[in-house]
Each structure stands twice: as structure tokens, then as C-alpha cells.
Amino acid sequence: MNSDGLRLTGVALRLGAFALADVSLAADRGEVLVLLGPNGAGKSVLLETVAGFHRPLRGRVEIGGRDVTRLVPEARRVAYVLQNFALFPHLSVAQNVAFGAMHGTGNRASRHGARARRVASLIERFGLGAHADRRPAALSGGEKQRVALARALATDPELFLFDEPFSALDALTRDALRDELASFLREAKLPALYVTHDHAEAQALADRIAIVDGGRIVQLGAAAKVFAAPRNARAARLLGVENVLDGIVRAHAAGSVVEIGAPPALFVPLDTGRAPIGSKVAVSLRASDLALGPPGIAAMAGEVAFDATVRHVAQQGPLTRLRCDAGVAIVAWATTAQLRALAIAPETRIGMRCPQDAFHLLEG
């Protein structure tokens, strides 16, 4: 990896009853690494450790090629963006941005001049000129985000840290700001560590994902790979996989298959690795991989098809969530057009099909 980025090596930490255990990860320049995990998993503690608020028992934190493990937060050159952007409420927009530009080298006069120029240029770059004298309480969500980013950039940071900045915002604002942030991060070309428990947010922003649970990194990899192949059932749930199905490994002429659900069971051809015949396994299946059709729908080459009885129908935003019984509980999504075409209602029968490789074997 590039030495300009972030590198954590074997970082261990204890905070009361909570512990981070030998965390190692890296984020290159221009890369967004999302830490995804449930509440209390240790994501924020890990972020605070990178920022310098906790001193690790063991391990090393490097930012931009510097060993910062023993440095205080103010010497680390990290841009820290927190929930609801944590703008200083008693300072104007310009003063908020200037706060980040205060700590430079040179004599007082030259520092003051350079700071004023830097603040002015950042305010202009983020389109905040009309709001420079306003207090944060008078700003919209988008304006707050731009002030937070401008303030953070004023320190000339080497790393961005985001701790659930959108968690207090309404869904509409959140979606808009997420897009704005994604394009900002693409342009900034700095490494970024982004904490969230929201898989949709992770999917929208991440180049790579680290799943954090119980103070450990349980899976780390390219976002697409992690989303496609969660390591275990807990990771699958965190990544928003709707179906985690129990099955049994059965012998088959062409290799192994996994038998899922009560008879008539689903038989899914799957490479079960070293799992012995007859052993219990868990399999993930994303509802978005399921195509819906009439009962008795035919499987095409490389597909699995089966019928199911709809048990529960719930509108969720533009789609409808179907809870079905196919000998095992299966969740699927339907469009309004599909609801009409297939006359889907509770207790109706429908057909489903999906590619065989949509099923993914999970570790026990």
C-alpha cells in the first residue's frame, strides 16, 4: 500500500469492559474504508483511537507515513466529522472555518494573513460566501456539511474520519448529502475512514469495507466482494442480506448440494469446501437476486427455481416486501407491477428463480 495513507498494525485497546483486539487495517490515499458494525461493536472507539483520543496497549497507528501512535489528537492532522457535523454553535460559519486554520507555522502576522486567505478561499470553494456571518443553527443540513468539510480541510489533513455524520438527519437530506460527500471524497483524494451501522450508506460510499463486531475486524475486503460474500451469518445480517438459510450438505454426483428447508426442499448446488456430508451449514441469499413469476416457473441454465406461499405483504417505500414460505422462510421484493401481474396477496402461490451463485455459503 501507499505510505501516504492510514495503516493500523495490531492495535489493541482496553476501555473498561470493552476491548479492541489486534486490529490491523489500511486505507490508501483516495480510498474510503467503511467500518460497518452494530451499535457497541467498537467502530467509534477504533475511530477515536486513530484520532488520538485513546492510547493503544499495543500496536501502531501510521498516518501519511508518520508513526502517530503516541501523538496527541491536535498533532495528528486528521479531519474528524461527527454526528450532525458538530459545528461550534457560538461561532459564525467563517469563525468555524477559521478555527481549523489557526494552527500553522511562521510569525504571527504572516500566519494571520495566510489564515485569512485560506479561510476566504475555502468559504468560496464550498459556496458559503452568503452564509459566512451566520451561525450554524441557521443553516440547512447541506450547508452544515459543507461548513464541516471546509473547516476540516482548513487544517490541511492527511486523513478523513467520519463517525456516522448523517445519523441524526431525515432520510431525504441524508440521501442528498451522501451523494455530495461521495463526490467530495473522490475529489479530495485523501484516505477516509467512515463509521456507520447502515449497510446502504456503506454500499454508497465504500471502496472497501471492514465489518467490526465485538471489538474485532471480522471481515475486510473490497466493498463489492464483501457485499457479495459475507463471511458469516452476523456479517450477512449487517450487510443487509435478507435471507440467511439453514441447510444440510448432501452428496451429489456433480459435487455437493445443500438441502434447504422442509420437504419439498430446495437443493442448491454449492461448493461446500471441507464441510462433511450431513453437516449443518448456513447459506445467504439476497432478496434482490430473486426473480418472481407464476407458480411452476421454469429454471434456466445455472438457476434454481421453486414455488412459495406468500404469508405477509408490506409496502416499504417504492417496493413491497414479501415474507414467503418455501419450506423455509424467504423474503423477496416485488414491484407494484409484479404485485398486479401476479395478483400477489397473502396466501397466494408464486414462483421464484435465481442464479445458483446467488446462494453463498457462510462460515459457522
Partner 1 sequence: MRRSALFLLFWLAGSLALAFTVIPLVELVAEPGVAGVVRAAQLPDVRSAIGLSLGAAAVTAAIATAIGVPLAWVLAGRRFPGKGLVEAVIDLPLTVPHTVAGIALLLAFGREGVLGAPAAQWFGLRFWGTFAGIVVAMLFVSLPYLVNAARIGFEEGVDPHLVKVARTLGARPGRVFVRIALPLAWRGIMAGITLTFARAISEFAAVAMLAYYPMTAPIRIYEMFLRFGLGDAVGAAVLFLIIVLVLFVVLRHFAFGRAGQRGFGR
Scanning 126-248, the segments in alpha helix (DSSP H) are 141-153, 171-188, 199-205, 223-228, 233-238
Q: For 10-13, which contacts have Cβ atoms below 8 Å and span 24 or more sequence positions?
A: 10/58, 10/59, 10/60, 11/46, 11/49, 11/56, 11/58, 11/59, 11/60, 11/61, 12/56, 12/57, 12/58, 12/59, 13/45, 13/49, 13/54, 13/55, 13/56, 13/57
Q: Across the strands, what pairs with 12?
A: 58
**Total Cβ atoms within 10 A of residue 200:** 12
166 lies in the site for partner 1, by CB under 8 A: no
Q: Which of 9, 19, 59, 99 binds partner 1 (CB under 8 A)?
A: 99
76 lies in the site for partner 1, by CB under 8 A: yes
Q: Which of 78, 205, 266, 285 binds partner 1 (CB under 8 A)?
A: 78
Per-residue contact flags (x/-) with partner 1 for residues 135 to 164, judged by CB under 8 A: ----------------xx-xx-----x---
Q: What is the DSSP string of 33-86?
A: EEEE--TTSSHHHHHHHHHTSS--SEEEEEETTEE-TT--GGGS-EEEE-GGGG
For cell 421484493, what's the residue? 333
Binding segment for partner 1 (CB under 8 A), chosen from 95-103, 259-267, 293-301, 306-314, is 95-103
Q: Across the strands, what pairs with 351?
A: 293, 307
52 lies in the site for partner 1, by CB under 8 A: yes
Q: Which of 35, 46, 79, 328 binds partner 1 (CB under 8 A)?
A: 79
Q: Which of 45, 51, 238, 285 binds partner 1 (CB under 8 A)?
A: 51
Binding segment for partner 1 (CB under 8 A), chosen from 44-52, 188-196, 245-253, 319-327, is 44-52
Least separation in angstroms between residue 330's CB and partner 1 is 42
Instruction: Identify which of 271, 266, 274 has the alpha carbon closest to the alpha carbon of residue 254.
Output: 271
352 lies in the site for partner 1, by CB under 8 A: no
What's the CA gap between 139 and 109, in Å, rounded?
A: 32
* Contact yes or no for 349/308 (Cβ under 8 A): yes
- With respect to partner 1, which residue has the nearer C-beta, 9 or 83? 83
What's the CA gap between 260 and 273, in Å, rounded?
A: 17
Number of residues counted as binding partner 1 (CB under 8 A): 26
100 lies in the site for partner 1, by CB under 8 A: yes
229 lies in the site for partner 1, by CB under 8 A: no
Binding segment for partner 1 (CB under 8 A), chosen from 62-70, 94-102, 112-120, 230-238, is 94-102
Least separation in angstroms between residue 82's CB and partner 1 is 5
Q: Which of 8, 31, 34, 80 binds partner 1 (CB under 8 A)?
A: 80
- With respect to partner 1, which residue has the nearer C-beta, 99 or 267? 99
Least separation in angstroms between residue 148's CB and partner 1 is 8
Tell me which residues touch partner 1 (CB under 8 A): 48, 51-53, 72-74, 76, 78-80, 82-83, 86, 88-90, 99-100, 102-103, 151-152, 154-155, 161
